[in-house]
Amino acid sequence: MNLAALNEIAEKMVTPGKGILAADESTGTIQKRFDAIGVENNEQNRRDYRELLFRSTETMRDHISGVILFEETLYQNAADGTPLVDLITQAGSVPGIKVDKGAKPLPGFPGETITEGLDGLGDRLKKDYERGARFAKWRAVIDIADGIPTWGAVKANAHALARYAAICQANQIVPIVEPEILMDGAHDIDRCDEVTRWVLSTVFQELFEQRVALEGMVLKPNMVVCGKKCTKRASVDEVAHRTIAALKATVPSAVPGIAYLSGGQSDEEATAHLDAMNKIGGFPWKMTFSYGRALQAAPQKAWSGKSENVAAAQRAFAHRAKMNGLASVGQWEGALEKAA
Q: Report the C-alpha gap between 274 and 289 in whole angstroms.
A: 7
Per DSSP, the residues of 36-77 read HHT----HHHHHHHHHHHHT-HHHHHHHEEEEEE-HHHHT-B
State which of residues 142, 173, 294, 313 lies at the interface with ligand 13P (CB under 6 A): 294
Stretch that binds ligand 13P, among 75-83, 242-250, 255-263, 307-315 (CB under 6 A): 255-263
Residue 178 annotated in active site: yes
- Asked if omega into 299 is within 30° of 0 (cis), the reply is no
Among 263, 286, 302, 328, binds ligand 13P (CB under 6 A): 263
Q: Which stretch binds ligand 13P (CB under 6 A): 83-91, 161-169, 201-209, 285-293?
A: 285-293
Asked whether 212 and 251 are in contact (CB, 8 A), the reply is no
Rounded to whole angstroms, how far apart are CA atoms 281 and 267? 22
State the Cα–Cα distance between residues 340 and 336, nearest whole angstrom.
Answer: 6
Q: How many chain residues interact with ligand 13P (CB under 6 A)?
A: 10
Stretch that binds ligand 13P, among 183-191, 246-254, 258-266, 274-282 (CB under 6 A): 258-266
194 is catalytic: no
Q: How far is the CB of 144 from ligand 13P (least distance, A)?
A: 16
Q: 53 or 249, CB closer to ligand 13P?
A: 53
Among 293, 298, 324, 326, binds ligand 13P (CB under 6 A): 293
The rounded Cα 107 to chain-centroid distance in angstroms is: 27
Q: How many CB atoms lie within 10 A of CB 194?
A: 14
Q: Which of 112, 178, 180, 206 is catalytic?
A: 178
Residue nearest to ligand 13P (CB): 292
Residues 17-36 that bind ligand 13P (CB under 6 A): 22
Told to check if 262 binds ligand 13P by CB under 6 A, we report yes
Q: Work out which of 49, 285, 291, 332 binds ligand 13P, going by CB under 6 A.
A: 291
Question: CB-based burial of residue 72 (10 Å sphere; 0-12 exposed, 13-18 middle, 19+ buried)?
Answer: middle
Please tell me what DSSP assigns to residue 115.
Answer: E
Q: Which residues bind ligand 13P (CB under 6 A)?
A: 22, 139, 178, 261-263, 291-294
Active site (catalytic) residues = 178, 220
